Structure 1
Amino acid sequence: MKGIILAGGAGTRLYPLTKAISKQMLPIYDKPMIYYPLATLMQSGIRDILVISTPRDIGSYKKLLGNGNRLGISISYEVQNEPKGIADAFIVGRDFIGSSSVALILGDNVFYGEKMDNVLQRSVKTEDGATVFGYYVEEPSSYGVVEFDEEHRVVSIEEKPSYPKSNYAVPGLYFYDNEVVDIALNIKPSHRNELEITDVNKVYMEKEKLKVEILNEGISWFDTGTYHGLLDAANFVETIQKQQRIYIACIEEIAYKKRYIDKEQLLELANSMIKTEYGQYLRYIIER
């Protein structure tokens, strides 16, 4: 399976912060926001990753992440010239996807929890159909909402409904078989003139090939595309890291534990940031 991080858009909900910089380059405590979705894909075991961003911002991501070699993965890049909706990622990235299945994660979504690895390992095996996630929220009308039966088969999925049929929001992480490319090419733009990911999911639902994984207690999700979401995520990361000495979305640590890189490579990465707590944490991983 391959992975796509969609880090485009204008980030208007975060103006004026994002008038001159990509939203996904903003810090969430001690890391750029894009580290968090990248970490999620890496935790899934996905090593071939495409970053999609705007013409203005794509160079910043190339400078930050490079080709992924230092992490033992491959990172490539494509430009989305204008925001045409989440599902447009499959059209922009269709050559990258090729004949593979694909995971798509939005660049402003943060996931954390001990059980998250198990959820990801199940989802990455998606070869026929699609898997989305359900996260319980108090005010679901602000999100895409999924309704499902006892066997976790999706009954309905709606985008920001006035009268939600459940309290389960759909976070920005999706796993699809290769058919998603053709589906994205054939759906029609919405009234916003965008290719909606909900419309893609509805096609899978109508074919009875859409499953939902519930993110239960112990798993946290943050949509960091708002001021409050950005601050809440930063405070959460700071608390976990200081109290538990566990770094969230430490992509170098994930690469080391996945054996994408060895101890010498991790030490080199640590030494390049040794004046920071982040670099010192990498040394701690080696020495503990």
Structure 2
Amino acid sequence: MKGIILAGGRGTRLHPLTLGVSKQLLPVHDKPMIYYPLSILMLAGVRDVLIISTSRDLGAFQALFGDGKQLGLDLSYAAQDEPRGIAEALLIGADHIGTDDVALVLGDNIFHGPGFGEVLHHHVADIDGCVLFGYRVPDPERYGVAEADAQGRIVSLEEKPARPRSNLAVTGLYLYENDVVEIARGIRPSPRGELEITDVNRVYTQQRRATLVDLGRGFTWLDTGTHDSLTDASHYMQLMEQRQGVRVACIEEVALNMGYIDAEACHRLGEELANSDYGQYVMNISAAAPAPWLVAP
């Protein structure tokens, strides 16, 4: 499976913070926002990832990650200079996707909950059309809303409905079979000239090939599109990390635990950040891993 992170847009709701920097490079507690969606793809077993952003910001993402080899990943980059809809990411990434299935995640979405890696692996291994992830919200009229039957098959999708049929908001994580590229090519642009991802998902719904995963209680989904939600996300992550003693979306730790890199490589990554608490954490978790090279003679 290939991965795509859509990290474009102008971030106008976060002005003036985003006048000179991509929203997805802003900090959420102790790390750039894009670490969170990247860690989700890594947990799903996805190692070949395309990052889509504006021409202005691509250089900053490349400076942050390079080609990804240090994390056991293969990262590439593409430009979307005008916000022409989420579904356009599938067309921009068509060559990247090739003949594979694809996981698309929005660069400003944060997911945190127990056992999410196992959930992702289960659905990545057996995709029938598309898999969407729903989160229960008190104000569904602000979101795309999905209604599913007892088997989890989606029976209706509505965008910001006045009278929602459920309170399950569709989050910014989508798993698709390879035919999604052709489906996206057949979607008509909205009056604003955008390719809407809901229209792509409706095709699968009409084919009875759309599945909804209810993220359920104990799970957190955060959309960091406003000043208040960005601050809330930072406070949440700070609290989780202080209480639990672990760092959420530490991509070096995820790479180590997934077997993408070994403890020695993880330790080197920590040394590069050794003046920060984050770097010290990376070195500590690498030292705790089975690593004969760290044992004094």
User: What TM-score results when the alignment is normalised by the length of structure 1?
Assistant: 0.98
Cα distance between partner residues in 2 of 1:145 and 1:37: 21
Residue type at the aligned position of 1:175: L
Which residue pairs with 2:225 in the alignment?
225
> What secondary structure does 1:170 align onto?
strand
The Cα shift of 1:219 comes to 1.4
State whether structure 2 residue 183 is matched by structure 1 residue 183.
yes
Which residue pairs with 1:37 in the alignment?
37
Which residue pairs with 2:149 in the alignment?
149
Which residue pairs with 1:110 in the alignment?
110
Cα distance between partner residues in 1 of 2:62 and 2:287: 31
Cα distance between partner residues in 2 of 1:106 and 1:126: 22
Unaligned runs of 5+ in 1: none
What stretches of structure 1 move > 2 A for 4+ residues in a row? none
1:129-208 to 2 correspondences below 5 Å: 129-208=129-208
Cα distance between partner residues in 2 of 1:227 and 1:143: 18
1:1-288 to 2 correspondences below 5 Å: 1-288=1-288
Quick check: 2:263–2:287 contact (8 Å CA) kept in 1? no
Residue type at the aligned position of 1:73: L
> What secondary structure does 1:50 align onto?
strand
> What secondary structure does 2:131 align onto?
strand
Q: Deviations over 1:56-107 (max 9, x none)?
A: 1111111111100000110001111311100000100000000100000000
Quick check: 2:144–2:157 contact (8 Å CA) kept in 1? yes
> What secondary structure does 2:266 align onto?
helix
Unaligned runs of 5+ in 2: 289-297
Cα distance between partner residues in 1 of 2:196 and 2:280: 43
Q: Deviations over 1:228-255 (max 9, x none)?
A: 2211110111001111111000000000
* RMSD, aligned CA: 0.9
Cα distance between partner residues in 1 of 2:167 and 2:255: 35
Cα distance between partner residues in 2 of 1:244 and 1:253: 15
The Cα shift of 1:115 comes to 2.2
Cα distance between partner residues in 2 of 1:267 and 1:176: 35
Cα distance between partner residues in 2 of 1:246 and 1:116: 16
Quick check: 1:133–1:214 contact (8 Å CA) kept in 2? yes
Residue type at the aligned position of 1:181: V
Cα distance between partner residues in 1 of 2:125 and 2:227: 35
> What secondary structure does 1:56 align onto?
helix
Cα distance between partner residues in 2 of 1:259 and 1:117: 14
Percent of aligned positions that are identical:
51
Quick check: 2:267–2:287 contact (8 Å CA) kept in 1? no
Q: Deviations over 1:148-180 (max 9, x none)?
A: 111111111011111111100000000000110
Cα distance between partner residues in 2 of 1:125 and 1:157: 24
The Cα shift of 1:123 comes to 2.1
Residue type at the aligned position of 1:93: G
Quick check: 2:128–2:210 contact (8 Å CA) kept in 1? no
> What secondary structure does 1:259 align onto?
coil
Residue type at the aligned position of 2:136: Y
> What secondary structure does 1:85 align onto?
coil
Cα distance between partner residues in 1 of 2:274 and 2:5: 28
Cα distance between partner residues in 1 of 2:77 and 2:181: 18
Number of corresponding residues = 288
Residue type at the aligned position of 2:256: Y
> What secondary structure does 1:243 align onto?
helix
Q: Deviations over 1:242-284 (max 9, x none)?
A: 1111100000000011111111111111111111110111122
